[in-house]
Structure 1
C-alpha cells in the first residue's frame, strides 16, 4: 500500500467517507471530524507514518490537502 493509499484509508476509516469525498474536506465540515476525531486522526497518522507531529502542525492540519502538505514536511512522500 502506498503512503497516499494509507493516508486516504485513515480518513475513510475514521470519518466513514468514500475516496471521492476526500478532496476539499475541511476540519469540522463533517460531524465526525470534531476535536476528538481530530486527535484520533493525528494519533493514527503518527502511528501509520512513524512520525511525531509538533503541536503547531496538529493545529494547522485543517484539511485533507493541508495534511498532505504537513506530512511532506516530516519527510512522508504522498
Structure 2
C-alpha cells in the first residue's frame, strides 16, 4: 500500500467519507465534522500510521488534507510512491 493510500485511508476512516472527497477544499473550515476531538484523533492515527511524532507547531497548522501531506513530507514521508 502506498503512502498516499495509507494517508487517504486514515481520512476516509475517521471522517467516514469516500476518498473522492479528499481534495484541496477538504479543510477544517469546510468540513463540519472536523472538530478538536477529531483533529487529535487524526493526528494520533497519522503518527501511528507513519511512525512519526509531530511537533506542536505542525499539529496546530494541520488544517487541511493538502497541508497534511506537506507536513508529513517534513518527516520524510514521501507521496511519490503511487
What TM-score, normalized to structure 1? 0.95
Paired residues in the alignment total 78
Q: Which residue of 2 aligns with 1:38?
A: 39
Q: Which residue of 1 aligns with 2:66?
A: 65
1:19 aligns with 2:19: yes
Consecutive unaligned residues in structure 2, runs of 5 or more = none
Comparing both chains, which one has the higher relative contact order based on Cα–Cα distances under 8 Å and sequence gaps of 6 or more? Answer: 2
Consecutive unaligned residues in structure 1, runs of 5 or more = none
Q: Deviations over 1:9-40 (max 9, x none)?
A: 00000001111111020014223211100000
**Runs (4+) of structure 1 moved beyond 6 Å?**
none
Please say if residues 22 and 64 of structure 1, whose CA atoms lie closer than 8 Å, have aligned partners that are also in contact.
Answer: yes
Q: What value does the CA root-mean-square deviation take over the aligned residues?
A: 0.8
